[in-house]
Amino acid sequence: MWRERNVRNLVLPFAAAITKLNQSSSTILGKWWSSLKASFLNNLVQKFKGMVVFVLYYYAQFKESQQDLQNVLNVLKLLYKANVKAQETIPLNKFYIDNLCCWVNLHQDVLNMKFCNRSPDEVNKEEFLVIFCHYPFILNLSAKIQALHTFAALNQQEAHFQAVFSEGNPSFPTLPTSHELKLKVDRKTLVADTFQWLKNVDDRDLRKKLMVEFKGEAGVDYGAISREFFLLLFEELIHPDSGMFISTEQSTGIWFPSQVTGPMENYFLLGIVCGLVLYNFGVVYIPFPLALFKKLLNVKPILEDLLEVDRVLHKSLQYILDYKYNLEENLLLDFSIHWDNQQVELIPNGKETRVNVGNRERFVAAYVDYIFKKSVEGPFGNFKRGFYKVCAEEIVRFFQPQELMDLLIGTDDYDWKTLENVTTYKGIYNRSHPTIEMFWEVFHKLPLEEKKLFLRFLVGTDRIPVSGMSSLKISISSLWSMTENHFPVANTCFLTLFLPAYTSVKSLREKLVIAIKCTRGFGLT
């Protein structure tokens, strides 16, 4: 850390001078920074990050320090843009200030951002000089998630307020409609019920907290019913029989079809559902490729993104780029392709334009652009419109594509030992209880698929939140009425496993496996 004298007399004036550069000079500086080697660019970034912390630590209580802070943040913003323009010379997480929340009230900062964005003409610029959410590239993933949750909670409060007070005269509250978004569906017609319901939902109600009820089943949705609802819904939506997506035997993900066979509106409704998952802090498995999340954030997909959609095609296109012989004569390719059961010309007169060494990069770029952009303008455009009908783009853009992907669909980073370490015990149980010792012995010997079934049984989903297995705060308890003849019971709302006091490993294993394989639903007998 610099000494205070150097900071006041050298570094802060230097930052102020950079921010006062005219557009032309700023552009030249940005180009120079873009050309720096990674080590030099990273050194600059770390120094100015250190300056942010220094000013926050030593001068946060002084109003005049706000201008200094803004100057340093603006320099970091220029460095960030230069790095992006250079196609990420250094990883974007090098810009994160991990301990920022030690000095910044992020909840208040999100409030300030919402106020400034909504009423820019009413803002006192001196009062709101520095809003850290206007510099999202310095927020680490934890801070971004906190900001997203705060933003969603504020929107839910606003929706509740609008439900209670009449729009005509806010001084007189009307009988409240509901501050919840209630959905009642039949398991047998899950997709049809959900899509029909979404067609009739008022846009403002989408900001309310989602509460799901399955017809014929008891239970209040404290989160567990919603988790199961999303899990079952997407199992049907991504199934080949739905006809909404295409995939290849060599792919690990699904993609939008170029020829839509069902109602185009379904992709709009699908986008709303995905938005509801994120808005309600859910996690659900959808094998979308990273390219989808890039497109949501206006980042252009590249050839490597094709690996998740069609591994063989990716290999073929890379082969064309690397081919060292006479490409035109040996491979006999032209600018027409076969995709999704149809022949397509990538450029006008593509059938007559041969691929050669001089235009092969253009061919590959056009091929990738067709798959990820031109062929899916209809379905993806509707999906994106539905997604942002629920989620505010101003907060979603905080995330990098991989972060947004992990946030929505979770991960499969199963750290079972961590799950054991964070588990708590209630009632007669503690970690050294014989039944608990047997339980973990049995659990760790289960095959992966049965461990995942256990998560679905207890948590409502087998996907791990991006924050990791340690965020699953499960507990194991007992009920006085349980005997060894009973099966384990899960309270998914509170992530509690009620485990009978088994005295044998065999009995515990048999009844646990039966329970996790056979139980589905709330209030079912």
pLDDT digits (tens, 9 = 90+) for 386-401: 999 999 899 999 999 9
**Which range among 11-15, 64-68, 151-155, 380-384 shows the weakest confidence by mean pLDDT?**
64-68
pLDDT digits (tens, 9 = 90+) for 156-206: 777 766 666 544 455 544 444 567 889 999 999 999 999 999 999 988 889
CA within 13 Å, CB half, 398: 27
Measured distance CA(320)–CA(128) in Å, rounded: 54
Phi, psi of 460 (to 5 degrees): 100, -5
Q: Are strands 180-185 and 336-339 parallel, antiparallel or unpaired?
A: unpaired
CA within 13 Å, CB half, 324: 0
CATH class of the region 416-518 = alpha beta
Measured distance CA(499)–CA(319) in Å, rounded: 56
SS3 299: coil
**DSSP single-letter state for residue 464:** B
Rg of the chain over Cα atoms, rounded to whole angstroms, equals 27
Are residues 506 and 235 in contact, defined by beta-carbon separation less than 8 angstroms? no
Judge if 181-293+387-409 and 303-378 fold alike in CATH terms: no
Stretch 322-331: mean pLDDT: 90
Encode 433-461: b = buried (16+ Cβ within 10 Å), e = exposed: bebbebbbebbeebeeeebbbbbbbbbbb
pLDDT digits (tens, 9 = 90+) for 249-307: 777 789 999 999 989 999 999 999 999 999 988 888 899 999 999 999 999 999 999 99
**Count of beta carbons in the 10 Å neighbourhood of residue 510:** 14
pLDDT at 64: 63
Which residues does 369 contact at the CB level (< 8 Å), separation at least 6? none
pLDDT at 274: 95
Q: Nearest CA to 413 among 465, 476, 487, 341? A: 465
Q: What are the Cα distances from residue 342, in Å, to 257, 262, 336, 490?
A: 11, 18, 10, 50
C-alpha triplet 450, 451, 456: angle, nearest 5°: 90
- Model confidence band, residue 472 (pLDDT cutoffs 50, 70, 90): confident
Domain 303-378 has CATH 3.40.640.10: no
Question: Which of the four CATH numbers 1.10.760.10, 3.10.20.30, 3.90.1750.10, 3.40.1390.30 does domain 181-293+387-409 have?
Answer: 3.90.1750.10
Residues annotated catalytic, as ranges: 493
Residue boundaries of the structural domains of the chain: 4-149, 181-293+387-409, 303-378, 416-518
- Model confidence band, residue 519 (pLDDT cutoffs 50, 70, 90): low
Stretch 83-99: mean pLDDT: 91
pLDDT at 525: 31
